[in-house]
Amino acid sequence: MSEKAGTHISHIHDADYEAPYLEKMLTSAALVNETGWGLESLNGKWNFGVDWYDTSRRAKWFLEEGRDPGGRPLPVDWDWEAWERICVPSCWNLARKELRYFEGSGVYTRTFRYLPEREGERAFLRFEGSSYRTSVFLNGSYLGTHDGASTPFCAEISAVAKADNRIVVVARRRVDRVPMENIDWFNYGGIYRDVLLLRTPPAFIKDWFLRLVPDGKFQTIALDVEAAAPGGLPAEGEARLRIPDLGMELPIPVRKGKGSIRFSARPELWSPGNPRLYEIELGFAGSAAASSDTVSERVGFREITVRGRDILLNGKPIFLKGICVHEDHIETGKTTDEATIRATIAHLRELNGNYLRLAHYPHDGRFARIADELGVLLWSEVPVYWAIAFDNPATYADAENQLAELVLRDRNRASVVIWSVGNENDDTDARLSFMSRLAAKARELDGTRPISAACLINHEKLAIEDRLADQLDIIGVNEYYGWYDPDFSKLPRIIENSKPSKPVVLCEFGGDARSGERGSVDDLWTEDKQARLYEKQVEVIGACPYIKGTSPWILYDFRCPRRLNRYQELFNRKGLVDADRKTKKLAFSVMGDFYRSLPD
């Protein structure tokens, strides 16, 4: 390193000011499940500063050094209480017009009271989603940085929390990560999902995985538990699982932080037609701790497997009657709520569907919870989208961490039936190795669900052909015949030319129509053309022996800054429903009729 002259001022001249922050990353290893002694919301109005040049982290505003060592005031550039107030959670882009396309850093701050309620209590912050690179500070201490816009992360605050606390959070876009800069949706910024304060006993259940063993017999349940002790040490003790409706109460010894059990049971199986959930209670008493932790949840037991070209739910072939959906909402962006999720599922029901592809990133954690309750099957995906930097090890580490955070968050949800490791990536060597590793990681974290990815068609050979298919259980395929490629006759040829040995799910097809735009079936952007395209698609799909599911693109029109023509006006208009989430287009009933015609 070269000598620094006496003129050096770190926060102005250090090009690598970010490096020390990146030495402390908040990853899936620090994730704590959101049940315990107590859970408080830190949502509400936070003070917010637009920080174009990331000065907050360069100049370490979190230290709050407003005075010199002699006590004289310094001319600092921040002013927490005078800043505007913004809602957490929300997408800053929608807070006011000037922020619509802002992609720099946003600084959030608020104060909160925290008083431990019990002896030995530990406390954690849990963020359900903040875009993209988020650094967290409490009372002048740096807690860590998280990468990834759509998965949860946690930071322990036990050692630094006081009665009165100041939290500072800096959220910033990364253009070279997962996904990268070029995407076909809107890059919303900020803390756009819930922020929680969790209280736990000194030793507690950090993670657990309860499921039916997928051996085709439906009579064995397995549980893995991970328990943590203070100081990041593995806990010793005993966990106890209760499933009252199955008459089960079982002890599980926990050694070096881990415990596992398999036991016989005959649960009523969860399915879209019978979304049976069992109340479960998982307790843990550590040998060193006087207090115990209890997790209460509702869990469904079902089996999802692949045999030949069939997808089997509870041993019976099923057709996934679905549609893709983005989280994007015209008023709230990527911030969602229970009512919106329920309304989305109501639209799926109107389509006579049983399945949703949650594109292209992990959706809010409440989605799978509500889908469990209502009996909807889900495809859940990480944003390994288009041409990310497949040869960059940091990009891989980021993708793998997002996958791990997603799987750990949702693997107890019966509704989630497919993990997808990406979408529409060019079949290069670097991509093959990157996504094969991701598929293997998904299997390591959860050996009970099929793995898929949305692949491209080989347009030269007119065949479903992608080297990644060998690593997948279900081959996902996107095709836009009749739209980007007007020659629809290629689609039946592709289906004829391909001989997949696995089930294929057509995870995208479709075309744009502006709501209310009418004309002939040949006029681009009209509902008439879109409806005709759907008629042609379902005719071909219905006759194909190996397509075992479809999720056309897409349920609702969504914001997209790449779409600039007069019909689009910054929206992708491929929705079957307008961006108002109310007005249906003609193609909606075409798809609804097709799904009604298929057997349950």
530 binds ligand GCB, rule: CB under 6 A: no
Residue 483 CB, shortest distance to ligand GCB, in Å, is 8
Strands 377-381 and 416-423, by their bridges, are parallel
Site size for ligand GCB, by CB under 6 A?
A: 9
Closest approach, Cβ 558 to ligand GCB, in A, equals 8
Nearer to ligand GCB, 184 or 194 (CB): 184
Closest CB to ligand GCB among 55 and 551?
551
Number of C-beta neighbours around residue 245 at 10 A: 12
Structure tokens at 595: 């799904």
**Is residue 537 close enough to count as binding ligand GCB by CB under 6 A?**
no
Min. distance of Cβ 406 from ligand GCB in angstroms? 18
Place of tokens 């349950």: 600
Q: Considering the rule CB under 6 A, would residue 327 count as an interface residue with ligand GCB?
A: no
Determine the residue with CB nearest ligand GCB.
184
Give 423 or 471: the residue with its C-beta nearer to ligand GCB: 423
574 touches ligand GCB (CB under 6 A):
yes
Task: Report phi then psi at 481, rounded to 5.
Answer: -65, 135
To ligand GCB, the closest distance from the beta carbon of 465 in angstroms equals: 17
Strand order across the 248-254 sheet: 248-254, 237-243, 278-286, 292-299
How many alpha carbons lie under 13 Å from residue 455 in its C-beta half-sphere?
Answer: 26
Residues numbered 494 to 523 that lie near ligand GCB (CB under 6 A) are: 508
The minimum distance between CB 532 and ligand GCB, in angstroms, equals 18
- The CA distance from 478 to 533, in Å, is 15
Q: How far is the CB of 360 from ligand GCB (least distance, A)?
A: 6
List b or e across 165-200, with b for residues whose CB sees 16 or more CB atoms inside 10 angstroms: bbbbbbbbbbeebbbbeebbbbbbbbbbbbbbbbbb
Q: Is 479 in the site for ligand GCB (CB under 6 A)?
A: no
Q: Is there binding between residue 572 and ligand GCB (CB under 6 A)?
A: yes
> Is residue 50 packed enough to be buried (19+ CB in 10 Å), middle (13-18) or exposed (0-12)?
middle
Question: Residue 591: left (phi > 0), alpha (psi -120 to 50), or beta?
Answer: alpha
CA 530: distance to chain centroid? 29
Looking at the Cβ atoms of 257 and 549, the one nearer to ligand GCB is 549
User: Which residue do the tokens 């989430």 mark?
Assistant: 581
**Contact flags string 407-426 toward ligand GCB, x per CB under 6 A:** ----------------xx--
Q: Which residues contact 580 (CB under 8 A, 6 or more apart)?
A: 330, 515
Residues 185-244 binding ligand GCB (CB under 6 A) are none
Nearest distance from C-beta of residue 513 to ligand GCB, angstroms: 12
- Which tokens go with 361? 């990133």
The answer to whether 553 contacts ligand GCB (rule: CB under 6 A) is yes
- Are the beta carbons of 277 and 298 closer than 8 angstroms? yes
Closest to ligand GCB by CB, 448 vs 568, is: 568
Q: Does 184 bind ligand GCB (CB under 6 A)?
A: yes
Minimum distance between the CB of residue 39 and ligand GCB, rounded to whole angstroms?
A: 34
Tokens of 187: 């890059």
Beta strands at 316-317 and 310-313: parallel, antiparallel or unpaired: antiparallel
The reply to whether 398 sits near ligand GCB by the rule CB under 6 A is no
Rounded Cα distance, 177 and 63, in Å = 29
Smaller CB separation from ligand GCB, 200 or 478: 478
For residue 553, the minimal CB distance to ligand GCB (Å) is 5
Per-residue contact string for residues 341-380; x = within reach of ligand GCB by CB under 6 A? -------------------x--------------------
SS3 103: coil
Contact 445, 411 (CB under 8 A): yes
Q: Is 578 in the site for ligand GCB (CB under 6 A)?
A: no
478 contacts ligand GCB (rule: CB under 6 A) = yes
Minimum CB separation of residue 477 from ligand GCB in Å reads 10
Where do contacts with ligand GCB occur on this chain (CB under 6 A)? Answer: 184, 360, 423-424, 478, 508, 553, 572, 574
